[in-house]
Amino acid sequence: MKFHVADNALLLLLVDPVTCFRDALYIQHQTFYLTPSSSLILLDWITAGRISRGEEWDFLRYHSINEVWVGKKRRARDVLLLERTNLTESEESVPLRSRTLKERLAPYSCYATMMMFGPLVVDVARSLVEKQTKILQMQLLKPPDFMWSISELLGHGGTDPVWVLRVAGVDTDTVKRWLQEELKGVEELVGREAYSKTFR
């Protein structure tokens, strides 16, 4: 899909997470063409699958590409490629064997990437950057149930940043509730009624 966002316009792409079934092959390529005055919030996220049916990280391949262009310059490109590793019976007992996709992604069952750009979303993005500076860094004995980080990618001359937010959680609802709360500032842009329909 290709999206062209006009001057001073805002595109919010807050879709439901992709949930792949067993043996699924999923590929998507999304390109966003913006102007310096355009604004964008793009959410791209994936769950482990239909866990209630025993399908946890059991798809064949998931390949997602998101590109953000401002004018004629590509400002950000994010690629996520997940592929299932099939082990033979002899490999399963080898200590240094390749790990399955489920083992590599454990303990999380939901991963999200959000890309933000433009004057209308600056306050939301900078609020997250500020919160990240206050997070206490420490060594943990085991992975936390939920974690997030945000990066600021500056353009030429240190202007027009693109923010990339990454989130991981042991369950989808935790990630969903956190995103809904942290994007609360969007409500002022689209109205309470419209925003209340997101992340249902």
Q: What is the pLDDT along the chain (200 residues), one digit of tens a residue?
A: 999 999 999 999 999 999 999 999 999 999 999 999 999 999 999 999 999 998 999 999 999 999 999 999 999 999 999 998 765 555 555 565 678 899 899 999 999 999 999 999 999 999 999 999 988 777 788 889 999 999 999 876 667 899 999 999 999 999 999 999 999 999 999 999 988 888 87
- Of the candidates 83, 41, 27, which has an alpha carbon nearest to the alpha carbon of residue 182? 41
What Rg value do the Cα atoms of the chain yield, rounded?
Answer: 18
CA dist., res. 16 & res. 6, Å (int):
24
Three-state SS letters, the chain: CEEECCCCCEEEEECCCECCCCCCEEEEEEEEEECCCCEEEEEEEEECCCHHHCCCCCCCEEEEEEEEEECCEEEEEEEEEEECCCCCHHHHCCCCCCCCHHHHHCCCCEEEEEEEECHHHHHHHHHHHHHHHCCCCCCCCCCCCEEEEEEEECCCCCCCCEEEEEEEECCHHHHHHHHHHHCHHHHHHHCHHHHHCCCC
Amino acid symbol at 19: T
* Predicted pLDDT of residue 141: 84
* Predicted pLDDT of residue 136: 73
Here the tokens at position 101 are 């996709």
Three-state SS letters, 144-195: CCEEEEEEEECCCCCCCCEEEEEEEECCHHHHHHHHHHHCHHHHHHHCHHHH
Q: How many domains does the chain have?
A: 1
* Predicted pLDDT of residue 121: 95
What pTM was estimated for this model as a whole?
A: 0.89
DSSP β-bridge partners for residue 114: 43, 165
* Predicted pLDDT of residue 99: 81
Distance of CA 157 to the CA centre of its chain: 27
* Predicted pLDDT of residue 156: 67
What range does the domain containing 29 cover? 2-196
Amino acid symbol at 30: Q
